[in-house]
Amino acid sequence: MNNKWKVAASTLAVSAAFFSALIGYEGYRSKPYIDSVGVPTIGIGNTVYPGGRKVKMTDKPITKQRAIEISKHHVSKDEAKFKASIPDVYLHQTEYNVFMDFAYNFGMANWNKSSMRRELLNGNHVAACKALLKYKYAGGRDCSVRKNNCYGVWKRQLDRYNKCMSVN
């Protein structure tokens, strides 16, 4: 493992590259839509608004700026929990972005019980990267199978994996 560019996760924050990738994968939609697992979503993959109200299909459209604000709020809320979940772990900025993107996409509860987190706590960064590939399901469908209509979930996991491995 190359520790040259790893620093305490507690000192890191998501970078501009994180938000660029997030928008690239989630896209922006002003009006509510149903995501790949059947959840009402708006903006940049947001299922809840600041304050905790869930998105409804009857909600009014939002601007791209508002979508970014909602995403930043969501990320900042999860970021503190994320950092607390991996005390004394040193990460490269790319790893930090990758695992925060996972937490954003799959939720903090899934992050907290993930083998990725366990491997990082044990100092095994390569195994943590490889564990990303275990998360290929959405709504009970194997997203690595194109015909299951969720292949984007798998493509995003492959991208996370490749980015993670590139710094380990």
CATH number at residue 66: 1.10.530.40
| Residue partners of 81: CB distance under 8 A and separation at least 6 | 108
Rounded percentage of the chain residues whose pLDDT exceeds 70: 98
When pLDDT is averaged across residues 102-110 and rounded to a whole number, the result is 93
The whole domain housing 108 covers 10-166
With 0-12 / 13-18 / 19 or more C-beta atoms within 10 angstroms meaning exposed / middle / buried, residue 154 is buried
> Which of 54, 105, 55, 108 has the alpha carbon at shortest distance from 77?
108
Confidence of residue 148 (pLDDT cuts 50, 70, 90): very high
- Domain presence at residue 101: yes
Mean pLDDT (the chain) is: 94
User: To which H or E segment does residue 141 belong?
Assistant: strand 141-142
Q: Answer whether residue 27 is part of any domain.
A: yes
Domain-located, residue 105: yes
In a domain, 109, yes or no: yes
Q: How confident is the model at residue 110 (pLDDT cuts 50, 70, 90)?
A: very high
Judge whether 44 and 104 are in contact, CB under 8 Å: no
Residues 6+ apart with CB under 8 A from 127: 115, 119
Look at residue 107 and tell me whether its pLDDT is greater than 70: yes
pLDDT of the residue at 5 = 87
Domain membership flag for residue 18: yes
- What is the model's pLDDT at position 2? 56
Share of the chain above pLDDT 90, in %: 85
The predicted pLDDT at position 72 comes to 93
Q: What is the mean pLDDT of residues 127-133?
A: 98
Q: What is the pTM of this model?
A: 0.88
Q: Is residue 40 part of a domain?
A: yes
Q: How many folded domains does the chain comprise?
A: 1
Task: Please write the tens of the pLDDT for every residue from 32-67.
Answer: 999 988 999 999 999 999 999 999 999 999 999 999
Domain annotation covers residue 1: no
Is 4 within the bounds of a domain?
Answer: no
